[in-house]
């Protein structure tokens, strides 16, 4: 399923930097955002 959202430019740049620095961990920006969402949605 695809969707879209708006993010501040500074946040996009920070995400892009993380993806570039960790190519074995994150395939792309969408993968990074999905992983971050999964992390935040884990049960307490």
Look-up of token digits 């993380």: 18
- Band (pLDDT 50/70/90 cuts) for residue 29 is very high
Residue 36, Ramachandran bin (φ over 0: left; ψ between -120 and 50: alpha; else beta) = alpha
- Band (pLDDT 50/70/90 cuts) for residue 38 is very high
The percentage of the chain sitting over the pLDDT mark of 90, rounded to a whole number, equals 91
Q: Which residues contact 12 (CB under 8 A, 6 or more apart)?
A: 29
pLDDT the model gives residue 9: 98
The percentage of the chain sitting over the pLDDT mark of 70, rounded to a whole number, equals 100
Q: Please write down the HEC assignment for all residues of 22-34.
A: CCCCCCCHHHHHH
Task: Give CA–CA dist 25/16, Å, rounded.
Answer: 13
pLDDT mean over 5-32: 98
């Amino acid at each position: 399923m695809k969707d879209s959202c708006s993010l501040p430019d500074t946040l996009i740049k920070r995400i892009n930097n993380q993806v570039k620095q960790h190519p074995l961990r994150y395939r792309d920006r969408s993968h990074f955002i999905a992983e971050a969402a999964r992390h935040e949605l884990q049960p307490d």
